[in-house]
Chains A and B, each alone.
Chain A
Amino acid sequence: MASVALTHLDPASRAAARGWSDLTIRNMFIIPTLAFLIVFNIFPLIYSLGYSFTNFAANRSEPWQFVGLQNYRELLSDDHIWSNFVTTAKYVIVSVTGQMIVGFGLALLLNRSFPMKGLITTLLLLPMMMSAAVVGLFWQLLYSPSWGPINYVFGLGDFAWLSNPDSALYAVAITDIWMWSPFVMLLSLAGLSAVPQHLYEAAAIDRAGWWYTFTRITLPLVSPILLIALIFRTMEAFKTFDIAYTMTTQPTAELIAIRLYKQAFQQWDTGKSCALAYIVLIMVLAITNLYVKYLNKVKER
């Protein structure tokens, strides 16, 4: 911290008149944030790690006992939990793949100049800015079997997207793709516009066709930023709760986060759900770690 060069206060400023130093001002910004983080993030994180080794239940007043690794052992041998993980994996793969394809595709289309580009880009970003619960509720209406616009447009009769065990998970994934493709698009656009124009000119002179230019120049040069988008979206998709919870009650669409919620706040099995949360955390960490390793390799090239 000491090495950070601070700009000195303008002696005529109001802050200086109050006798504040640069350091005081810096602390005024940093200390509240740190305090907030410690109280609401770090403390619960450590505390819940403690709970995960107990049979504590938040709705009962009787004393809890230390049970060692029992919670973890039970969870990892529970078939029900594993099927939740499989569901989550399917969901992550479908929704993240969809977002990457749609998002990058949109970015390719937007990466040129045309009239009203700014407006169109902003409009395309809107889904991302909505509340997930609201998106879930709206898409529930869109998917409605009897009068939903989706069945009407595609002529699917009264197909029950969200109450059909085979389609519920994918219906939620489609909604997630709709909501989060703009995020991938935004990052991809930044990546695409960072590719210098003169490389495309050189490729044109070198007689490279569109596809050759795309696979040999565009893709390799934007891949680091695409990977970052992939990391973010995988992490987020892994812990999806709100959209899925508001849209469907199908057990085939029960993601791990929903399972966790039910265990914690419907069965009030607090200790065990803390253990489950830690298992999820370790899995997400492992996956992102893989990505980050690969990202570093890509960046080295």
Chain B
Amino acid sequence: MTQIELRGIEKFFGAVQVIHNLNLAIADNEFIVLLGQSGCGKTTTLRAIAGLETIDQGDILIDGKAVQHLRAADRDIAMVFQSFSLYPHMTVFENIAFPLRATRMGSGEVDKSVREVARVLRITDLLGKKPSALSGGDMQRVAIGRALVRRPKAMLMDEPIGALDAKLREEMRAEIKRLHVKQGSTTIYVTHDQIEAMSLADRIVIMHEGFIQQVGTPDEVYSHPANLFVAQFVGSPVMNVADAAVAGKASFASVIVGDATTGFEFPSALLSKLNGHAGGQLALGIRPEGVLIRRDAADGFMAVETQIVEPLGSFDIVDLKVGSKMLRARTKSGFVSGPGEKVFARIDPTQAHFFDKASGKSLEVRL
């Protein structure tokens, strides 16, 4: 039972402020992912919670108790490092036993706990080996084992699988999820990989330049990005964002992208929901799967020309020329054979996002 709360955290490195007034409440057993580019302050936040970094302002509460003045050792949290940080001169057994022996646990109990954790992580046959003899994935299992073995109040993970190759990363991702479901402990996980974040998190915290951009479930963050940064950071392929102007027509609203001559048809309700943000300061965001294309003309579809086609196996990404802008659409594999083809496109109004260009904030238009 561990709740962690961050209240008004501020952190400076010299004159540079790396964390700005950060507030976050993490529930018991929750899997929280801090997501952002390098230098966004996510690792600093994690290290501050761990006690490896001091903070200049604010409170860190673990189970309601302020811990920002406690040393790392007194906070009873475990951490998995990106570099694994296994003790190179000790065997796997000794590595996992280290946190238990450091607190003078009896040897019988140490042995039992280590073997139990090794069994859960399926590394029993590695216990006698040195870290240098292990593969990257096994090293990470050992590092996780060392963190799990003493049943800490919370688990902190700093890009734990960032150093592994792609296939192993996917494997370990599933394993971390399996462990979390099975062991259940409050977990804070730092990554720059949005796929990792989406697949693991109960809630994602997206950070940029020391500010929290949005906190929400993977679905919320993906379907209702709070601002342009989140919209473009989460999701692959990246969301299309283009300047847009909206004009009212007889039975529909026309959304003109960039300098295109004709607009996409949207329901008239859009006009009232935009609250006067009609032209000039508006940006339209649409994920590639929200751009629908077909081969023959139909009501509401606009004729466009295909440019580059990127075949990705399970689907293709097709660039469509709309005015001078490119709109990327997701299609079935092989739907478009190559550049220069003429197809018909429309934008799915339910998947469209409108942002205020000046502030970058979402206008929360839901059609």
Q: Which residues does chain A contribute within 8 Å of B73, judged by CB atoms? A: 204-209
* Residues A207 and B85 in contact, CB atoms below 8 Å apart: no
Closest to B76 in A: A207
* Residues A202 and B85 in contact, CB atoms below 8 Å apart: yes
| The residue from A198, A220, A301 contacting B85, defined by CB atoms under 8 A apart | A198
* Residues B81 and A201 in contact, CB atoms below 8 Å apart: yes
Q: How far is the CB of B333 from chain A (nearest CB, A)?
A: 44
Q: Annotate A143-174 by CB proximity to B: 1 below 8 A, 0 otherwise.
A: 00000000000000000000000000000000
Q: Which residues does chain B contribute within 8 Å of A202, judged by CB atoms? A: 79, 81, 85, 87, 146
* Residues B99 and A207 in contact, CB atoms below 8 Å apart: yes
Q: Annotate B62-104 by CB proximity to A: 1 below 8 A, 0 otherwise.
A: 0000000001111011110101010111000000001100110
* Residues A209 and B83 in contact, CB atoms below 8 Å apart: no
B52 within 8 Å of A by Cβ? yes
* Residues A198 and B87 in contact, CB atoms below 8 Å apart: no
Which residues of chain A from 182 to 203 have any CB-CB distance to chain B below 8 Å in the complex? 196, 198-199, 201-203
* Residues B81 and A301 in contact, CB atoms below 8 Å apart: no
> Known: A207-B102, A212-B102. Is A221-B89 also a contact (CB below 8 A)?
yes
Complex Cα distance A154/B89, Å?
45
Complex Cα distance A196/B83, Å?
10
* Residues A205 and B88 in contact, CB atoms below 8 Å apart: no
* Residues B89 and A205 in contact, CB atoms below 8 Å apart: no
Q: Which residues does chain A contribute within 8 Å of B282, judged by CB atoms? A: none
* Residues B78 and A205 in contact, CB atoms below 8 Å apart: yes
* Residues B81 and A216 in contact, CB atoms below 8 Å apart: no
Complex Cα distance A198/B71, Å?
16
Complex Cα distance A204/B78, Å?
10
Most chain A C-beta atoms within 10 Å of own C-beta, residue among B74, B78, B87? B87
> Known: A205-B78, A207-B99. Is A199-B87 also a contact (CB below 8 A)?
yes
* Residues B85 and A201 in contact, CB atoms below 8 Å apart: yes
> Known: A201-B52, A301-B89. Is A206-B81 also a contact (CB below 8 A)?
no
Complex Cα distance A217/B101, Å?
13
* Residues B79 and A207 in contact, CB atoms below 8 Å apart: no
B51 within 8 Å of A by Cβ? yes
Most chain B C-beta atoms within 10 Å of own C-beta, residue among A196, A201, A217, A220? A201
Complex Cα distance A207/B99, Å?
6
* Residues A208 and B98 in contact, CB atoms below 8 Å apart: yes
Closest to B82 in A: A198
Closest to A202 in B: B85
Q: Which residues does chain B contribute within 8 Å of A203, judged by CB atoms? A: 98, 102
Q: How far is the CB of A212 from chain B (nearest CB, A)?
A: 5
B327 within 8 Å of A by Cβ? no
Closest to A198 in B: B85
B50 within 8 Å of A by Cβ? yes
Complex Cα distance A221/B146, Å?
20
> Known: A212-B102, A216-B98. Is A204-B51 also a contact (CB below 8 A)?
yes
* Residues B99 and A206 in contact, CB atoms below 8 Å apart: yes
Closest to B73 in A: A207
| The residue from A198, A205, A221, A301 contacting B72, defined by CB atoms under 8 A apart | A205
| The residue from A204, A208, A220 contacting B52, defined by CB atoms under 8 A apart | A204
Closest to B143 in A: A202
Q: Which residues does chain A contribute within 8 Å of B98, judged by CB atoms? A: 203, 206, 208, 216
Complex Cα distance A217/B94, Å?
12
Complex Cα distance A199/B88, Å?
9
Q: Which residues does chain B contribute within 8 Å of A301, judged by CB atoms? A: 89, 130
* Residues A205 and B87 in contact, CB atoms below 8 Å apart: no
* Residues B71 and A204 in contact, CB atoms below 8 Å apart: yes
Closest to B50 in A: A205
Q: How far is the CB of A39 from chain B (nearest CB, A)?
A: 46
> Known: A199-B87, A201-B52, A221-B89. Is A208-B81 also a contact (CB below 8 A)?
no
Which residues of chain B from 35 to 54 have any CB-CB distance to chain A below 8 Å in the complex? 50-52
Complex Cα distance A202/B150, Å?
14
* Residues B88 and A221 in contact, CB atoms below 8 Å apart: yes
Q: How far is the CB of B7 from chain A (nearest CB, A)?
A: 23
* Residues A206 and B52 in contact, CB atoms below 8 Å apart: no
Closest to A300 in B: B130
Which residues of chain B from 119 to 157 have any CB-CB distance to chain A below 8 Å in the complex? 130, 146, 150
Complex Cα distance A102/B87, Å?
27
Complex Cα distance A220/B91, Å?
13
Complex Cα distance A217/B130, Å?
15
25 pairs from A and B in contact (CB 8 Å cutoff): A198-B81, A198-B83, A198-B85, A199-B87, A202-B79, A202-B81, A202-B85, A202-B146, A204-B51, A204-B52, A204-B73, A205-B51, A205-B72, A205-B73, A205-B79, A207-B74, A207-B102, A207-B150, A208-B98, A208-B99, A209-B73, A209-B102, A216-B102, A217-B87, A221-B89
- The 3 closest A-B CB pairs, nearest first, are A206-B99, A208-B102, A202-B85
B contact residues vs A (CB 8 Å cutoff): 50-52, 71-74, 76-79, 81, 83, 85, 87-89, 98-99, 102-103, 130, 146, 150
A contact residues vs B (CB 8 Å cutoff): 196, 198-199, 201-209, 212, 216-217, 220-221, 301
Q: A206-B73, A208-B98 are in contact. List 7 more A-B contacts (CB 8 A).
A: A199-B85, A199-B87, A204-B73, A205-B52, A206-B102, A207-B102, A212-B102
